[in-house]
Structure 1
């Protein structure tokens, strides 16, 4: 049984707590949090520690904090030559202080507080300095997920940038669509089946083959009509930029 300590109490840590709690192959020794209040509903209070100096012995320490805090937290760890992994999509292996062995345990998913997720389908991207440590990360990852990938730092950065496009930017476009609907007293719910079908299509089609709409058809009349209709200058700029990107798709510059 692999003994794990989690460091951090944010969304990623809370979801990992739930995933590890259901797992008989690993033992969650404790979780570090600056205060007990944030995670006290998730596990016994005697497993919550608020002082890094009091961390118990474990086989793997997973740092689930903001990217900017990884180096500082890893520097404060009171031990040496232990396997310490972070959960960041962009931070390098070198973000972990050199006194310990470094790794990456990156779940590629958007996490929302109090919204349960199925870890079995969440891709876990792993990286380690040596094969022995990688096998430890892989054992832990495969105990909670069926989608485990060896991903180096450069590949992880590419995935994270791509994830911003398909998740964060897409969600922002949903927000714009909702604002347009609300401005004209139309229910945003009417668009939800379209959103679901658009997302579902990429399970069987490549994004380029699934693309539809006036930009794809080069329907200039409709495009100009939409731009004339939009009164928000920011929305116009986004519409124009995305339209040009779709029109230029596949063309050599």
Structure 2
């Protein structure tokens, strides 16, 4: 079995830990947390450590820490020439101190505390500095996910930017839609089937093919009616920017 140590105890770390605990390919030998009172569900006390000097020997060390902490934590690791990977979507592989062999193990998903996820459906993007190390992290990734991709640091940064658009920005638009509904005493639940169908359509169509609405049709009467109706300046600005983007996109066809 491949021995793994998780360094970190935040959202990503806890979801990865849950995935590995149900796994027969790897053995999760330790979890490191900075705070001594940190407890993680399913992890025995003897596997929790709070001092980097107490880390045991393993085949793979996964740094599930914030981007800003990768360099400092990797520099403090009390060993050399072992395989250390981070889980960041934006940090380069070189963020890890070069005293160890370096890689990336990036699960591309939004993680929320206490919200279970099916890791088998989460894409995992991998990068390593040599083929031997890549085979190790590839085996580990495929033991918990059905979607594993070799992605270099530049490609991973592009993916992360794209993910902000399709996840974070989209969720913010959901919030705006909810605020408009609440302001006018309309149940937000009325929009949920529309949201589900919008997402489902891109399983069969490209986003460009699936685009509908007044901007797609260049229906200026409806667009101006909506802008006149909106009273919040921020909502108006967002509406204008997105409408213009869709209009410009239509010119590419």
Q: Does TM, normalized by the shorter one, top 0.5?
A: yes
Equivalent residue, structure 1, for 2:125: 125
Unaligned runs of 5+ in 2: none
Residue 61 (str. 1) matches residue 61 (str. 2): yes
CA contact (8 A) 1:81 1:99 kept: yes
For normalisation by structure 1, the TM-score amounts to 0.98
For normalisation by structure 2, the TM-score amounts to 0.98
Q: Which runs of 4+ in 1 moved over 4 A?
A: none
Using the alignment, how far apart are the partners of 2:39 and 2:150 within structure 1? 30
Change in CA separation of 1:187 and 1:37 when aligned onto 2, cut-off 3 Å: farther
For residue 42 of structure 2, give the secondary structure of its aligned residue in structure 1.
Answer: coil
CA contact (8 A) 1:11 1:111 kept: yes
Using the alignment, how far apart are the partners of 2:175 and 2:95 within structure 1? 34
Using the alignment, how far apart are the partners of 1:236 and 1:100 within structure 2? 51
Equivalent residue, structure 1, for 2:242: 242
Using the alignment, how far apart are the partners of 1:207 and 1:116 within structure 2? 28
1:33-65 deviation per Cα after TM superposition (whole angstroms, max 9, x unaligned)? 012544332310111000011100000000001
Count residues in correspondence.
252
CA contact (8 A) 1:14 1:39 kept: no
The farther-off stretch of 40-49 and 239-248 is 40-49
Equivalent residue, structure 2, for 1:105: 105
For residue 40 of structure 1, give the secondary structure of its aligned residue in structure 2.
Answer: coil
Using the alignment, how far apart are the partners of 2:233 and 2:160 within structure 1? 29
Using the alignment, how far apart are the partners of 1:204 and 1:213 within structure 2? 19
Unaligned runs of 5+ in 1: none
Change in CA separation of 1:78 and 1:168 when aligned onto 2, cut-off 3 Å: same
Equivalent residue, structure 2, for 1:45: 45
Using the alignment, how far apart are the partners of 2:106 and 2:73 within structure 1? 17
Using the alignment, how far apart are the partners of 1:36 and 1:191 within structure 2? 45
Equivalent residue, structure 2, for 1:205: 205
Q: Residues 187-226 of structure 1 correspond to what in structure 2 (within 5 A)?
A: 187-226=187-226
1:122-161 deviation per Cα after TM superposition (whole angstroms, max 9, x unaligned)? 0000000000000000000000001000000111011000
